[in-house]
Amino acid sequence: MKVVSGQVMQLMDKRAIGEFGIPGLDLMERAGRGCADAIVETFGAGTGKRAVIVAGKGNNGGDGFVVSRLLSERGWDAPVLLLAAPEAIAGDAAANLARLSSGVVKSVPQGIAGERELFEGATVIVDALLGTGMKSEVSGIYGEAIDAINAAGVPVIAVDIPSGVDSATGKVLGRAVRADLTVTFALPKLGNILNPGAELCGRLVVADIGMPDAVVAEAEGVEFTDLPSAALLFRPRPATAHKGTGGHTLVVAGSTGKTGAAAMAANSALRAGAGLVTLAVPALLHPILEAKTTEAMTIPLGPGAKGYLQAGALPEIAAAAAVRDVVALGPGLGTAPSTVYLVHSLLAALRQPIVLDADALNAVAPDPSILLKRKGLITVLTPHPGEMARLINGSVPEVEEDRIGCARDFATRYQVHLILKGARSIIAAPDGRIAVNGSGNPGMASGGMGDVLTGVVAALIGQGYDPFTACRLGAFVHGFAADLLLETRGSQGMCATDVQEALPAAMDRIARTRGTHHVLDTDNTSQGE
């Protein structure tokens, strides 16, 4: 599903009106109807219900006027608190204000500090204050209104986006409404799906307002991967499948004290559908990995008592990679100087797709330009924010300030695919495409989750998925497996091996999903440790 900024949505509205002849008044009517429908669907129609619409002077307030009128037609009491003088309302919003019955609107241009008793007995409060155009910090009467809405103890429905959330970044502009349900129009906005905005939206419903298909198709945006989207990406196994169909994944991983990382990457590749998996590990640790991985084949590398891979293992790894479809490099590998040199040598020597994680990322971080030696080849990086900060020689706050920009800049500069892990993982392609992952939950904030993701993405590439799709689908499957666990076991104590074992069930659920109705749960999510 495409996701856009509020600015892009404004351009879409202008195109719909100017090029396709759809009156702005009609778009506002459809938006208000979508919101009213969602309220009635959630809380019911009929007498005895009361919605207090808190409206600003712009088009978001105009949407609120439509909501008031349509709820009134369905038996609701729907008064409007207007934070402006009526004569300050213009355009389509003014037309809809004029359609409201006498006595419905109470103009409070001085603010609602003395009007909070109007919230008493309300079934819902409708936030129609600011909409998607707000960019500066919220203050004054609008800030006071947001505080009053949040303190009311009544379910809140936000129109398009909670007031105070930046529609392009999801950041809070000083203060923001905490909604239980947000109804957005035509397409989700970035602020609806990026945290902290995603959390503040509560449940997110996308209402169809009849935006022309051509306008949607040509709008600049990013892809959001939810369950219906993942189902469209997923390819069920054909009846004629055999182990060769699933590809052969080589996992180069492990060092003393980190055999679990190697085992989880290998076992997760198998659980994600790899036909064959071979695990290349230090010879000293070979007996341990033999015990930890029943289905995976193993290659013991390097003589002597070293518990880490050394530069001399290059010829053997290169020979093994030559007859495999994809290489996963890094989980538990360690950071010994000889191991770092080995990682650099493998990046220069191998032609196969490579998925880099953990210590392989740490080996690259001092000089990411080494990645350019693989220009034209498939290279995937899966950093968490700390690893990403090292890759850009920056800080975690710098990464978190603009996750999309950070991921896109690195992917295009070094011509790699990248999954920036975290709540709402960002997937970036070398050509600048961006996707945002919609699965996962806070239970995933534990060690080993990244090793599982590495195995999943490598397995999908081995099965023939293009790298951008493999990253999108891999991130979704990884988080969705955790979501299935959340339903039955809760988030506390969720381990990476739990997610690993839930991968087949997650992929089966995705394969059986063919729905197209998007109702997005924007609970805070996490991916990777």
Domains along the sequence of the chain with CATH: 7-211 (3.40.50.10260), 231-521 (3.40.1190.20)
Amino acid letter at 305?
A: A
Note the Cα 74 to chain centre separation in Å. Answer: 36
Mean per-residue pLDDT for 446-465? Answer: 98
Residue 458 CA to residue 465 CA, distance in Å, equals 10
Binding residues for AMP: 421-425, 450
In the structure, what pLDDT confidence band is assigned to residue 529 with cuts at 50, 70 and 90? low
The strand pair at 222-225 and 434-437 is best described as parallel
Q: Report whether 76 contacts 37 (CB < 8 A).
A: no
pLDDT value of residue 118: 84
87 contacts: CB under 8 Å, gap ≥ 6: none
Name which of 134, 116, 123 is nearest 197 in CA terms. Answer: 134
Higher pLDDT, 149 or 117: 149
Is the confidence at residue 527, as pLDDT, over 70? no
Name which of 422, 406, 425, 413 is nearest 473 in CA terms. Answer: 425
pLDDT tens per residue, range 418-439: 999 999 999 999 999 999 999 9
Q: Report whether 417 contacts 411 (CB < 8 A).
A: yes
Binding residues for K(+): 60, 127, 163
Binding residues: 59-63, 127, 131-137, 142, 160, 163, 261, 332, 384, 421-425, 450-451
Q: Report whether 73 contacts 102 (CB < 8 A).
A: no
Mean per-residue pLDDT for 381-410? Answer: 98
pLDDT tens per residue, range 281-327: 999 999 999 999 999 999 999 876 689 999 999 999 999 999 999 99
Of the candidate ranges 46-55, 250-259, 396-405, the one whose mean pLDDT is the lowest: 46-55
Of the chain, the percentage scoring pLDDT greater than 90 comes to 91
Look up the pTM and report it. Answer: 0.93
Q: Could you give the C-alpha distances from 138 to 210, 256, 286, 461, 496, in angstroms and in order?
A: 31, 53, 60, 46, 41
pLDDT value of residue 446: 95
Residue 349 CB: number of other CB atoms within 10 A?
13
C-alpha atoms less than 13 angstroms from C-alpha of 455 in its C-beta half-sphere: 35
Residue 265 CA to residue 260 CA, distance in Å, equals 9
Q: What three-state secondary structure class fits 471? A: helix
pLDDT tens per residue, range 472-507: 999 999 999 999 999 999 999 999 999 999 999 999
Is the confidence at residue 116, as pLDDT, over 80? no
pLDDT value of residue 305: 66
Q: In b/e form, how buried is each residue of 411-449, taking b as 16+ CB within 10 angstroms?
A: bbebbbbbbbbbbbbbbbbbeebbbbbbbbbbbbbbebb
Mean per-residue pLDDT for 83-103? Answer: 96
Binding residues for (6S)-NADPHX: 59-63, 131-137, 142, 160, 261, 332, 384, 451
